A = this chain, B = another copy of it.
Amino acid sequence: MSHLRFGPNPIRSTYLIGRAGFVACHQFSLLQRMDVLTLADPGATFLLNSPYPPDEVWDRLPVEVQRTIIDKGLDLWVIDAYRVAREAGLGARINTVMQPCFFALSGLMPKDEAIAAIKKSIEKTYGKRGETVVARNFAAVDLALGALNRVDVPGHVTATQSRRPPVPREAPDFVQRVTARMLAGEGDLLPVSALPVDGTFPTGTARWEKRTLALEIPVWDPSICIDCGKCALVCPHAAIRMNVFEPSALEHAPEGFKSKEFSSRDHPGLSLTIQVAPDDCTGCGVCVDVCPVRSKEEAKHKAIDMEPIGPHLEGERASFDFFLQIAPPAPALLGIDSVKSSQVREPLFEFSGACAGCGETPYLKLLTQLFGDRIIVANATGCSSIYGGNLPTTPWTANAEGRGPAWANSLFEDNAEFGLGMRLAADRQNARARQLLEKLAPQVGADLVRQILAAEGDEAADDAAIALQRERIIELESRLARLPVASAEATELLDLADSLVPKSVWIVGGDGWAYDIGSGGLDHVLASGRNVNVLVLDTEVYSNTGGQASKATPRGAVAKFAVRGKPTGKKDLGMMAMAYGNIYVAQVAMGGNDMQTVRAFLEAEAWPGPSLIIAYSTCIAHGIDMATSMSHQKDAVRSGYWPLYGFDPGMVDRPFHLDSKKPSLPVKEFAGQEARFAMLARTAPDRFSTLMEDSQTDVDERWRLYEQLAGVERTAPDLPEPPGLEGTDGGASLEEGD
């Protein structure tokens, strides 16, 4: 919400508008969710971006909006700005469409003067992007006023539908009392007492924030689907999902709920459904881009296609609600080590506020699908901390048993240390619990104690072993609770019993954190030998703060602080980590090889020492069509710009393996597709060529080096020491005298 204030003299006082003479709503769906007109003055102008024409729009407005317009005597104008932007070649970018409408209606300046000023501003802002971009924006301006229409407002309310409540009635108490008020923009009316005293917020709240942003949503065609699961894997918002189940589960399915036979020789007779969450989908189209199936009959038809949301919304809502209550298959049924099997697992990261097409969030979602019920996440400041803890909601959530990630955000400069602290705490609690178990064996049963102690350990951290251990812990807790005399030690063990289930610590952040501001701490934590897993979501630029160059920014890319194209190459973080010898390192790109990504996550978690995954993350800062996010990743890998590899210190023989093919696409061709590079090609073609030649040299030399590394044999793996209870080492002295 922006408050713009105008007057004949400069306004220097700082206040928000209380009575607005002009209100514009750039997103029609907001009218369904919040009181957009609360500040409108009687007789004010109301400009609405509407997908419906002027003669239809009135009946689409909720009761409350109609009543306010009538009561306040508002002057209602509509424009289908998305249509105009599309026609002008601007995709979904509507700002240059809405701006002239504002000037035309507000009467702040003569219309022609305003249009001329807008065009001058466009030239200044987009000039360096090239003539086409300027021409498209000019066209948008010219088309806008012709598409602007006044609506004849009837004298009475005709709507029957009311505005939706901020959250559904089935939302939990805290969400109703606190989250909903914040969502409704009333957060500053909450008393301090309503907020959690220790700052701990419940997870699983993003699901209650139904944004219904998408103009188009994916529509599934089961008849040609091949069950690959790629669409679900890549969805940045967990808004397209997959499940496999007994056909009997479909008994009470709503009309239109789609399913097909699950193609599996090992598991015949099961059904499969791919289901969209229509209110949570952002319409980015990445799922369609990666769908590998094309209809033989119908040109351009894939197993999923984007279609306007209107006709599908209600049906898909009902289908998604039904889909959610179908239990996922037992973990053992399909295993975990394939894209397909990972995607029938429940995501515990869903519906974040990340950009449409975000390249980071699919990695986080996958992380929760694989280990979500036992992970602890330390999240550095950056995009992932914003969409990860975007008050009032968080996309991190829990499963039906209430298990899910514990998450906290720390600073750019200390997040690795923050996560190490989580690891040390978990290890210390575990060691103390083991000590207490041994002491209390006579009271709680020596057999149970022996089983718990034997099962516990990193090698037992698979789903089945963990499920068994959880059962034992429940039994232990119940026996402890039943002890006739609750000793201090029994009480302490009851408190610590949960620490006997292995915890998986993940330290997450972007390249600004890992390559730059937090790099000293990251190095220190990786060198500690402790069992932490680091996931770097590498967008190669400070995305959240506006696109400043980091040490991950590649040579030749244009970014803030590198407007002439970054002259130096990208820091080879993976190579630096491999220099330690005892760190699991993988470089992945989901769009380049999704199976390699899944395997790297599994291997990183399994390695009992430090692990580092560097994940190529496409970003709006790259200047690409985000619908093709995954295709760009594929080209990054094909060109050798982003080689895929793994270094597994647990492998005695050859710990380093290359997971992508010899580069086959010139780097310059890959780079030319992205505005971050192409800007330089336009503004300084010679410099661009030189830097691209250097980049090609980088690629070629790195590839040769990797090929050599792949041939280096090792004699012994370098296993970390098991953590103990003995505490921080004290001092030792070498002096013999003074």
Interface residues of chain A, those whose CB is within 8 Å of chain B, are 85, 90-91, 93-96, 125-126, 129, 133, 137, 516-521, 523-524, 527-529, 546-547, 551, 558-564, 567-569, 571-572, 575-576, 579-582, 620-623, 675-676, 679, 694, 697-698, 700-701, 704-705, 708, 712, 714-716, 718, 720-721, 728-738
Q: What residue of chain B has the Cβ atom nearest to residue A93's Cβ?
A: B737
CB < 8 Å neighbour of A715 from B91, B129, B529, B701: B701
Contact B94 A738 (CB under 8 A): yes
For residue A399, give the distance in angstroms from its CB to the closest CB of chain B. Answer: 37
Contact of A721 among B567, B582, B698 (CB under 8 A): B567
**A94 CB contact (under 8 Å) in B580, B621, B737:** B737
Among B516, B517, B679, B737, point to the contact of A732 (Cβ < 8 A): B679
Q: From the candidates B517, B527, B572, name the one contacting A579 in the complex (CB within 8 A).
A: B572
Give the complex CA separation of A527 and B125 in angstroms.
31
Question: CB-CB < 8 A to A679: which residues of B?
Answer: 732, 734
**Is there contact, CB below 8 Å, between A524 and B516?**
yes
Q: Are A529 and B95 in contact (CB under 8 A)?
A: no
Q: Is the CB of A737 within 8 A of B96?
A: yes
Chain B min CB distance to A314 (Å): 30
Which of the residues B529, B620, B701, B712 comes within 8 Å of A704, measured between beta carbons?
B712
B-side contacts of A564, CB under 8 Å: 729
- With A520-B519, A521-B520, A712-B708 known as contacts, the answer to whether A527 contacts B551 (CB < 8 A) is yes
| Chain B residues with CB below 8 A from A701, complex form | 581, 712, 714-715
Which chain B residue shows the least CB distance to A713? B704
B563 adjacent to A621 (CB under 8 Å): no
Task: Assess the B563–A729 pair: CB atoms within 8 A.
Answer: yes
When A and B form their complex, which 6 residue pairs have the shortest distance between CB atoms, in order from nearest?
A93-B737, A520-B520, A95-B738, A575-B579, A623-B734, A572-B579
Contact B737 A90 (CB under 8 A): yes
Tell me the minimal C-beta distance from A678 to chain B in angstroms. 10
Give bound CA distance, A93 to B736, whole Å. Answer: 8
Complex CA distance for A519 and B137, rounded to whole angstroms: 47
User: Taking CB as reference atom, which chain B residue is nearest A676?
Assistant: B734
Chain B residue numbers with a CB within 8 Å of A129 are: 736
Chain B's closest residue to A693 (CB) is: B716
Q: In the docked arrangement, what's the CA distance between A582 and B679, Å?
A: 26
CA distance A735 to B679 in the complex (A): 12
Query: A571: nearest residue on chain B (CB-CB)?
Result: B527
Please name 30 pairs of A and B residues whose Cβ atoms are closer than 8 Å in the assembled complex, sorted by A.
A91-B737, A95-B738, A125-B733, A133-B736, A516-B520, A519-B520, A520-B520, A520-B521, A523-B523, A524-B551, A527-B568, A546-B731, A547-B732, A558-B734, A560-B729, A560-B730, A561-B729, A563-B731, A564-B729, A567-B721, A568-B582, A569-B580, A569-B581, A569-B582, A572-B580, A623-B734, A675-B734, A676-B734, A694-B716, A701-B715
Contacts of A568 in B (CB 8 A): 527-529, 580, 582, 720
Q: How far is the CA of A560 from the CA of B562 in the complex (A)?
A: 44
Contact B712 A558 (CB under 8 A): no
Given contacts A558-B732, A576-B576, 16 further A-B contacts (CB under 8 A): A90-B736, A95-B737, A96-B737, A129-B736, A137-B736, A520-B521, A547-B732, A562-B732, A563-B729, A568-B580, A571-B579, A571-B580, A575-B579, A576-B579, A697-B715, A701-B715
Does A737 lie within 8 Å of B137, measured CB to CB?
yes
Docked-complex contact A523 and B520, CB < 8 angstroms: yes
Q: Which residues of B contact A571 (CB under 8 A)?
A: 523, 527, 579-580
Contact partners of A733 in chain B: CB under 8 A: 125, 547
B523 near A519: Cβ-Cβ < 8 Å: yes
Q: B residues within 8 A CB of A720? A: 567-568
Q: Smallest distance from the beta carbon of A525 to chain B beta carbons, Å?
A: 11
Docked Cα-Cα span, A567 to B705, in Å, equals 29
User: Which of B567, B620, B714, B736 is close to A529, meaning CB atoms less than 8 Å apart?
Assistant: B567
